[in-house]
Structure 1
Amino acid sequence: MNLENKLSQGLVQIYTGDGKGKTTAALGLALRAAGHGLKVEVIQYLKGSTYTGELYSTERLANLNIKQFGKGCSYAALIKQGLMGCTGCGECFIKNSKNKEAHQKFVTWAYEYTKEILEEGKQDLVILDEINNALRYDLLSTEDVLKLIELKSEQTELILTGRRMPQDILEKADLVTEMKAIKHPYQQGIKSRRGIEY
């Protein structure tokens, strides 16, 4: 029997909610798909920290690619070497930035890249990580995201992550998982940890 490395049917999944684990769940699925020889593309909206563990892991997996579109971290090289941890300064997040135009450029580039990937239809699994941040800060519209969903091929699995996903987008999904925040280490003053949160 010849098993082709293609999905028989691609669905739309959404990981949303205020709890931790949306990106982690999507990356877990990416790892599973890559292990089966599927081609995986992860497009990270408004993330550009360049020191996350998933970036280093994917260097070893030829069929799993991550593209980041966001402001980088000033301390990325030191964090990568393990010489310091994330300071929590928030400079890499839009909510702490006064330069909305710069973030708009990153989102525009990410959106155009996403359209290109979906139109080509060569990837089996496409993850739009934190795309909802672009919606929350009015850098993309709900209609823009719905157009991306329409672009996916029948054999492409599409995953969207982010808090407070609009109802119109939720209705287009085949699977919606809501992460609920019950307890978090941040509430105890524990900062992001290398290898766990990034």
Structure 2
Amino acid sequence: MNSKLKQGLVQIYTGKGKGKTTASLGLGLRAVGHGYQVEMIQYLKGSNYTGELSTVERLPNFNIKQFGKGCPYAAAIKQGLMNCKGCGDCFVSDDNQEEAQQFVDWAYQYTKEILESDTAEIVILDEINNALRYDLLTVEQVLDLFNLKGEQTELILTGRGLPEEILVAADLVTEMKAVKHPYQEQGIKSRRGIEY
């Protein structure tokens, strides 16, 4: 197997439709199949009950690091005793900006360390848009990460509403378009194994 990518690019999965994180996970899974090291850094996510966390424990080359507030119901959800209630306790709000800033600072520092070490062929910055939306990161800081990545590193960003300057600087941008969603149409909430 080839140990390094021949050419690493910057990809973005954005838009209001479902599937941005899912697409990046699929790309990561494909890369692991070729022997590449994958680092997924989740900005402002701390819900340790998602299926992908259990999956990557079985994959030697796929690492997920979460930097966010944990879910108070995570243990029960992980055990299948309840479903995600959609309460939003694990998301950023005006009440926890200082805490959120600390998580973003840790995530950004870890991202820089991973990119500078050049040990991962695939680096995924999941939901980095949230850090930008809440003014916890600047556009310049994100663009600095583009310059830190090695020539053989693929950098992937996910999240809706990424600023135009970031979209222009990327090599590939995919916009997920919301056409129909079971929550809006039927009131169906997040489902185990599908949304988490």
Give the match for residue 33 of structure 1. Answer: 31
SS in 1 for 2:115: helix
Q: C-alpha deviations, 1:80-106, integer Å up to 9, x for none?
A: 1000000111101114x5111000000
Shift >2 Å, 4+ stretches = none
Counterpart code for 2:81: L
Q: C-alpha deviations, 1:51-110, integer Å up to 9, x for none?
A: 000000000001000000000001100001000000111101114x51110000000000
Give the match for residue 157 of structure 2. Answer: 160
Contact 2:2 2:34 in 1 (8 A): no
Q: Matches of 1:156 and 1:112 in 2, distance apart?
A: 18
Counterpart code for 1:167: E
- Pairing 1:90–2:55 present: no
For the aligned residues, what is the CA RMSD? 0.8
- Pairing 1:78–2:61 present: no
2:138 to 127, 137, 141: 141
Q: How many residues align?
A: 195
Counterpart code for 2:17: G
Q: C-alpha deviations, 1:4-42, integer Å up to 9, x for none?
A: 221000000000001100000000000000111100000
Flag structure 1 segments of 5+ consecutive residues without an equivalent: none
Shift in Å, 1:136: 0.5
What percentage of aligned pairs have identical amino acids? Answer: 73
2:44 to 27, 43, 46: 46
Shift in Å, 1:172: 1.1
Q: Matches of 1:174 and 1:168 in 2, distance apart?
A: 12
Give the match for residue 126 of structure 2. Answer: 129
Shift in Å, 1:186: 1.2
Counterpart code for 2:92: I
- Pairing 1:22–2:20 present: yes
Flag structure 2 segments of 5+ consecutive residues without an equivalent: none
SS in 2 for 1:169: helix
- Pairing 1:183–2:180 present: yes
